[in-house]
Homo-oligomer: A and B are copies of this chain.
Amino acid sequence: MADALRIGIAGLGTVGASVIRMLDAKAQELTRQCGREIVVTGVSARDRNRDRGVDVSNARWFDDSVELARSQDIEVFVELIGGEDGPARASVKAALEAGKHVVTANKALLSRHGVSLAAAAEKKGVLLNYEAAVAGGIPIIKTMREALAGNQVSRVFGIMNGTCNYILTRMEAEGISFEDCLKDAQRLGYAEADPTFDIEGHDTAHKLSILTSLAFGCRISADDIYMEGISNITQADIRAASDLGFRIKLLGVAVKTDSGIEQRVHPTMVPTSSVIAQVHGVTNAVAVETDYLGELLLTGPGAGGDATASAVTGDIADIAKSRPGFQHGPVFGWPARELTPYKRARMRSHAGGYFIRLTVHDRTGVFAAIAKRMADSEISLESIVQHGDATADQHKTVILVTHETTEAAVRKAVDGITRDGHLVDKAQVIRIERAA
């Protein structure tokens, strides 16, 4: 049998403790699968004395994660610290430069510095594995980086934030408001005390930016993502969606268009009959569409200590199975130095169907004015539903579903309707996404 693989783990929070527990509990199976033992020889975390429920007494303790990253004691550095800069970045960089393989679950780090880290890894001929960084336990990185070799991706999209999906699922199932759902999610530990990062789409955007690079062989560009969160989704939207055969999900979508690559995160209407519409609660799902394979959808746990530990362990096992001289392909599918510059598509030219909900004054001619603005923008309508608002009989709700049109046309029409002075509230515009 080959020599044991010596790894160092930096960051001993929920995921770090789960990884250590899993490596210990599954030592025999992993040895059999990898043909060698995996041994944790070094650990690093902020507080040496905290009880984490796992025994790390056999590993050497490092107060400084950078020191662990460079240590002669390890061949693989597992970064579970988090954060796009600080010790996470410094230690991953140090590990790669010292010729160590790296496994990380850090989406923020990769989203910001992924390309330069990939270049460092490829220069040294070491692996940089990051399955846990996107959609937790779902093997989407392995699928896109390895299984889809040679496929040209046209679109990748998914539900990549469990907090948002949990809130949307409960809003629909129980008819309660966004605010009440959020409070419950916070109470149950599904949402942070400051939920902005999840709720407004930043977390999904980080993950999407990584998938975009894998999908299209371009550099990561997390700042070029159009982002709308779910905080302005109301029961009126959810009920109207349901009446029309749709369900609202926060999707991250990256798609190749004639003008470049479009990256967007926003509440999206998907057909109730689609597979992705059945993905409920904290579960994640990622769909990839390619020329040869067709459409693939992966569904599973997007977060949680054990599910994330499973992905980290899979990454470590891949390294344990490798032998000196082996190379398993570039970090982002293509060599980092050959990744093309990201070319942002014009978002305003995004084509697709739209759901538009308008709360209007109940006056003669309003309907005609709306219809005229739509016609002026050359928007063809799939359906129009108008109903009185029970609580305020001076208002009416008008719901429009458009056929495929452009973002620019919709914006123009809605701006016109707004200027006409018929709206009581800001217009609600939700994109519709085709999904199998």
A328: interface (CB < 8 Å):
yes
CB distance from A252 to the nearest CB of B (A): 19
**Stretch in A204-212, A219-227, A299-307, A408-416 touching the partner:** A299-307
A375: interface (CB < 8 Å):
no
Binary interface encoding of chain A residues 300-319 relative to chain B, with 1 for a CB under 8 A from any of its CBs, else 0: 11001011011101100110
A310 in complex: contacting residue of B30, B293, B299, B330, CB < 8 Å: B293
With both beta carbons as reference points, the residue of chain B lying nearest to A330 in the complex is identified as B33
A306 in complex: contacting residue of B293, B324, B327, B329, CB < 8 Å: B293
CB distance from A37 to the nearest CB of B (A): 13
A299 in complex: contacting residue of B275, B307, B325, CB < 8 Å: B275
Tell whether A326 pairs with B329 under 8 Å between CB atoms, given A137-B294, A310-B150: no
Considering the complex, which residues of chain A in the window 255-280 have a beta carbon less than 8 Å from any beta carbon of chain B? 273-275, 277-279
The reply to whether B146 and A317 contact each other, CB–CB distance below 8 Å, is yes
CB distance from A19 to the nearest CB of B (A): 10
A335: interface (CB < 8 Å):
yes
Q: How far is the CA of A304 from the CA of B290 in the complex (A)?
A: 14
A35 in complex: contacting residue of B34, B313, B327, CB < 8 Å: B327
Residues of B within 8 A of A35 (CB): 327, 329-330, 335
Q: How far is the CA of A309 from the CA of B311 in the complex (A)?
A: 27
A54: interface (CB < 8 Å):
no
A199: interface (CB < 8 Å):
no
The reply to whether B292 and A313 contact each other, CB–CB distance below 8 Å, is yes
A148 in complex: contacting residue of B314, B328, B333, CB < 8 Å: B314
Considering the complex, which residues of chain A in the window 148-166 have a beta carbon less than 8 Å from any beta carbon of chain B? 148-152
Tell whether A150 pairs with B326 under 8 Å between CB atoms, given A297-B300, A299-B297, A310-B290: no
Q: How far is the CA of A436 from the CA of B307 in the complex (A)?
A: 16
Residues of B within 8 A of A311 (CB): 147, 293
